[in-house]
Structure 1
Amino acid sequence: MIFTSDAVVLGLLMITLAVIFYTASLEHPFWKKLYTIVPPLLLCYFIPGLYNSFGIISGEKSKLYSVVSQYLLPACLVYFTLGMDFKAVLRLGPKALIVFFAGTLGVMLGGPVAVGIVKSVAPEVVGGQGADAVWRGLSTIAGSWIGGGANQTALKEIFQPSDRLFSQVIAVDVIVAEIWMAVLIYGAGQASKIDSFFKADASSIEELKHKLEKEQKVSQRLLTLKDLVLIGAVGFGATGLAHLFADFMAPWIKEHYPSLEKLSLTSSFFWVVSTVTLIGIVLSFTRLRQLEFAGASKIGSLFLYILVATIGMKMDIFAVAENPGLFAVGIIWMSMHVIITLVVAKLVNAPFFFTAVGSQANVGGAASAPVVAAAFHPSLASVGVLLSILGYAVGTYGGYLTGLMMQWVAE
């Protein structure tokens, strides 16, 4: 092991993230082609994983992940849900929300169905005991595919899969999700043909596009020191309250209702993430929501990518090849999500834009839903943000229920 100081490790991770984001922004053909094949999010996981696998750092001995997951993750969830504008979400119309929640349902049903199908053919793929029980790792994919990386980490802390198992499911999560994202971006170029097949009227998308362009110009403002202090107070204040509540609630349930441990209700972190998500949703109805226009979700995204890097440094890259059958689970699971989303979109004659963005808001979250939305038109990126924030709000709860269903099927 070369670097043992967490200060050095943190510096190395931040430089790594900076290099990834800088090169991903370049227009040079080499970098554009590379990031078309290998998504930046995958590198944010796997480069720190390589550092750990080759002994440059030790994810096992470092305390960075525990600090980031306890402090930055809850604040990150607050920042993502704080920007929720329920009026704007409702203005998207019922079709957008119907398709979005159809995608959520597809993920929630697809997980247990995929586990059941693979179990009937190769039970060892979805078996395991204790921290190596495969359903624990798969539950984190449910959090990722309904909400995003923050929800995924929240469920990792709740269900406690082993680091080795988590290394395996991360690969399934990112690779399967990115393949589907590539299909959606290709579909954006064929949107008129697809809308014709679905008999969908896309005129509302044009109207929405012009309205959003106007709103973005009026609402955006420069970040000030006062804004930064308020953003910090909201995020870490909510985190402190959530920890205070969890420190009381988890031991109380463990003492009085120990049987609820099977539902992870004795997990302190379950109460932390549930509480901060609820606080963020409540604050989104107050004037503090204006902090979103000062960049609250951007700070949340920074925290999220630091979190992704610290997760990555605990990964053993070589463990990914140990259970290739998990990719079968991921493919069946994603197929269920796709089928349910498309069937519902066809039933309500939803424009392909709502289908693509609603699906990606579930599967990719705030990191990639705006990218898919922008493939239709740059001004529509905020629709991806809106729906992905909705995903963050329901991701932990939906992923938690999906995890319990997969546990029931696997056992």
Structure 2
Amino acid sequence: MEPAAAQTPLITNDAVVLGILVLILALVFKTASSKRPFFRKFYGVVPSVLLCYLIPSLLNSFGVISGEQSGLYHVASRYLLPASLVLFTVSLDLKEIWKLRHKAGAMFITGTVGILIGGPLAILIVSSFAPDIVGGSGPFAVWRGLTTIAGSWIGGGANQLAMFEVFQPDPNLFSAMIAVDVIVGNVWLAVLLYGAGKAEQLDRFFKADSTAVNELKDKVEKYRLSIMRIPTMPDTMMVVGVGLGITGISHFFADLIAPWITLHAPYLERFSLTSGFFWLVVIATGFGVMLSFTRARELEGVGASRIGSVFLYLLVATIGMQMDITAIVSQPGLFLVGFIWVSIHLLLLVAVGKLIRAPFFFLAVGSEANIGGAASAPIIASAFHPALAPVGVLLAIFGYAIGTYAAYICGLLMQMAAAV
């Protein structure tokens, strides 16, 4: 069966696709706020943010729209994501964020270790009953392709390409691995979004001490209420101007810094410092943090984080339309390896989370900062509360820094596992 993404979709005009995505978001949020018993029961089971992601993925999977052929994800990730990061961090309280460092860091490192050991263990498990799936030799060796997934799941796209250059898998094998990376990663994102809607029940399971997280949310809410007023047109334009203006400045500097490092210090590629997207996220977040020490903080009172959330949910919808669930049919064996890999990652996170009584927030963000990176970690964090989005960004940036090294070690372990 040919994947829907490879066919010509029913709708090819991005203006129409954007309209459909925005209408989906509007419908979901309107019904989620409805007082009708049916909708209250429905959204008590299915989190609204999950539908914002899942419905576009179904439209893509069945050939109505195509995430692969659309340019909307590029626009959302390069323009709307940095703008939302600025608007989320403009009212940042660094002192409160700093209080989250211990458990947030522990769960992020646990997530990294889960990916690092999960790959070799998945190869060993699958080879015990279907060795052909993880076999091959030379550039066709499956373990070589899996190293590129490790690079993506610990760091990001730049780290993934670094692993491709280091281990040199066959290009066709690499293409199959990209499909596994996208599908398994997006299914996992859906699971975490669902979990975010059930955070209280999951925190009871972990016997979590969520005091620091709740204090941060409460403090942000109190500050917001203290400065909140009905926004005027100049207020709204100022919010949009700051968000997109800083995004433009961030692009300007990223376009200077990344090529300069590529030319004069190419060895820094191992830290993702030659990636323009890396610098875009870092600079936008940095400007947002600096603005949080100025009167720009008061923009929160006229809806900075609300407009930031609009931008971020548009990104959620465009990420959703990247997933083609029918692709699993084409090479089910490789997807089985991917799902076993993520399951090991989850089991380790649950074990450590239970041990240190970490709130589910730390598990979800620590996991997605690895697997999803800077594009989706703030989505998971903001699903708990907009004030928490910067936590996801900061952890994802750290993932970029260690991604190449950790993925290289994972690749060597997978090579050993494949030889057993």
TM-score relative to the length of structure 2: 0.73
Do the aligned partners of 1:167 and 1:320 also contact (CA within 8 Å) in 2?
no
Match of 1:112 in 2: 116
Matches within 5 A, 1:156-171: 156=157, 159=160, 164-171=179-186
Give the CA deviation at 1:267.
Answer: 1.8
Do the aligned partners of 1:167 and 1:319 also contact (CA within 8 Å) in 2?
no
The equivalent position to 1:135 in structure 2, one of 120, 133, 150, is: 150
Match of 2:350 in 1: 338
Q: Distance in 2 between matches of 1:59 and 1:211?
A: 39
Q: Which amino acid aligns with 1:111?
A: I
Q: Distance in 1 between matches of 2:383 and 2:254?
A: 36
Q: Distance in 1 between matches of 2:389 and 2:183?
A: 27
Give the CA deviation at 1:105.
Answer: 3.0
Cα distance change on mapping 1:201 and 1:109 into 2, 3 Å: closer
Give the CA deviation at 1:30.
Answer: 3.6
Cα distance change on mapping 1:127 and 1:179 into 2, 3 Å: farther
Aligned-partner SS, 1:223:
coil
Matches within 5 A, 1:105-254: 105-122=109-126, 127=142, 133-139=148-154, 155-156=156-157, 159=160, 164-178=179-193, 180-181=195-196, 184-187=199-202, 194=207, 215-254=223-262
Give the CA deviation at 1:243.
Answer: 1.4
Do the aligned partners of 1:100 and 1:362 also contact (CA within 8 Å) in 2?
yes
Q: Distance in 2 between matches of 1:280 and 1:328?
A: 38
Q: Distance in 2 between matches of 1:45 and 1:206?
A: 26
Match of 1:397 in 2: 397
Match of 1:380 in 2: none
Give the CA deviation at 1:201.
Answer: 12
The equivalent position to 1:103 in structure 2, one of 107, 114, 135, is: 107
- Structure 1 unaligned segments of length 5 or more: list them: 143-154, 346-353, 373-383
The alignment covers a number of residue pairs equal to 366
Aligned-partner SS, 2:253:
helix
Structure 1 range deviating more: 21-30 or 237-246: 21-30
Do the aligned partners of 1:51 and 1:57 also contact (CA within 8 Å) in 2?
yes
State, as a whole percentage, how many aligned pairs show the same letter.
36
Q: Distance in 1 between matches of 2:314 and 2:238?
A: 21
Do the aligned partners of 1:250 and 1:266 also contact (CA within 8 Å) in 2?
yes
Q: Which amino acid aligns with 2:201?
A: Y
Give the CA deviation at 1:409.
Answer: 0.7
Aligned-partner SS, 1:56:
coil
Matches within 5 A, 1:9-408: 9-89=17-97, 94=99, 97-122=101-126, 127=142, 133-139=148-154, 155-156=156-157, 159=160, 164-178=179-193, 180-181=195-196, 184-187=199-202, 194=207, 215-320=223-328, 322=332, 323-345=335-357, 355-359=359-363, 362=366, 384-386=385-387, 388-401=388-401, 403-404=403-404, 405-408=406-409
Q: Which amino acid aligns with 1:174?
A: L
Do the aligned partners of 1:45 and 1:309 also contact (CA within 8 Å) in 2?
yes
- Structure 2 unaligned segments of length 5 or more: list them: 1-8, 128-132, 135-140, 162-173, 369-376, 413-420
Do the aligned partners of 1:81 and 1:390 also contact (CA within 8 Å) in 2?
yes
Cα distance change on mapping 1:67 and 1:131 into 2, 3 Å: farther
Do the aligned partners of 1:49 and 1:313 also contact (CA within 8 Å) in 2?
yes
Q: Distance in 2 between matches of 1:3 and 1:169?
A: 25
Cα distance change on mapping 1:130 and 1:206 into 2, 3 Å: closer
Aligned-partner SS, 1:314:
coil
Q: Distance in 1 between matches of 2:235 and 2:121?
A: 51
Q: Distance in 2 between matches of 1:325 and 1:59?
A: 24
RMSD after superposition: 3.7
Match of 2:170 in 1: none
Do the aligned partners of 2:82 and 2:247 also contact (CA within 8 Å) in 1?
yes
Match of 1:6 in 2: 14
Q: Which string of whole-angstrom CA distances, capped at 9 and with x for unpartnered residues, describes residues 272-319 of structure 1? A: 112112221222222212212322121111111111212222321212
Q: Distance in 1 between matches of 2:260 and 2:291?
A: 27
Aligned-partner SS, 1:324:
helix
Q: Which amino acid aligns with 2:338?
A: L
Q: Distance in 2 between matches of 1:392 and 1:310?
A: 19
Q: Distance in 2 between matches of 1:312 and 1:113?
A: 28
Aligned-partner SS, 2:336:
coil
Cα distance change on mapping 1:288 and 1:205 into 2, 3 Å: closer
